[in-house]
Copies of this chain bind each other. A is one copy, B any other.
């Protein structure tokens, strides 16, 4: 009885407490924080609380919409709390007196065209991309000479557990692209490719395969328009330079049945364009929040059906509310049309996520087990 009364009083008073006065137990440091940093913190409502030290600033805020201006706490630091956010990974900047700065409490991620801060709001299903005591693959940073760009190209290659112990074994390869404003670090860092693949393989849910992640040259459109993007320079790097390099440097199964391509957002556009042009190179296609494929997109349907094993089309649920994308496309209907045409097409919607990395981690988790089945 006494306890119930205390609980009632606490519940009634809760809205009157400012965020930084709330019980510590309700707020947990974000996993995206720098080691040892308490803030940003997240509560059960998925509100994020920030702390910024800038004693002489006139105004402090964060780039999340609907966040009231920060206020100064008793310790002289500025505090502010967002409205509830979606589960998943969100880029942000701290605004100090009109300047947009990375939050010194956050680890740094490349997105929105810059290395800067982001916050990981815990997801109910975060276990699938958690680092666990399972056999681990390796994420390898490689450079490859690229005559077409007159530079040393940069990529990351995931090799599955046991790759070095089985020199007689050869592996299929997935080429996996980031989106516009991002780069080749994205899938290995915020994408958690290593953890997702290690966990899937440990659970026996997928064939082991290599994942190759390189820069999609998407950001060169920075000062132009997206529609001005030309696929040929990246297509040349990927098909003529990187794939031959990987097939030389790694023990790949270097043929069409054992090569897939997927990408998120603009990387999905790249995937669609390149795979439809290079049926002889890729046997599986994944578009993660990156458009869809209609039967009309396919020049020779019979050739496609003979060569393609999987088409995977997906969006975050917030991107297809009412079933349609903002551009008015209906990817579910497109997928059904592919299926009706005899193609092994799949449609997947990530629940309660938008155009961000939790959608794309789930896409990889769904797509990987469909690949390279005998």
Contacts and interface: CB of A to CB of B under 8 A. Distances in A.
A161 to B, nearest CB: 9
A24 B144 CA distance: 33
B141 A140 contact: yes
Interface string A193-230: 01000000000000000000000000100100000000
A102 B101 contact: yes
Interface in A122-162: 131-133, 136, 138-145, 152, 157
Interface string A83-120: 00000000001101111111010011000011110000
Nearest to A198: B143
A140 B138 contact: yes
A167 B141 CA distance: 20
Nearest to A168: B167
Nearest to A108: B108
A104 B98 contact: no
Interface residues of A, number: 51
Given A54-B96, A164-B251, A141 B144 contact: no
Interface stretch (A5-13, A56-64, A316-324): A56-64
Contacts of A101: 54, 94, 96, 101-102, 104
A250 interface: yes
A15 interface: no
B99 A53 contact: yes
Most chain B C-beta atoms within 10 Å of own C-beta, residue among A55, A97, A132:
A97
Interface in A241-299: 249-251
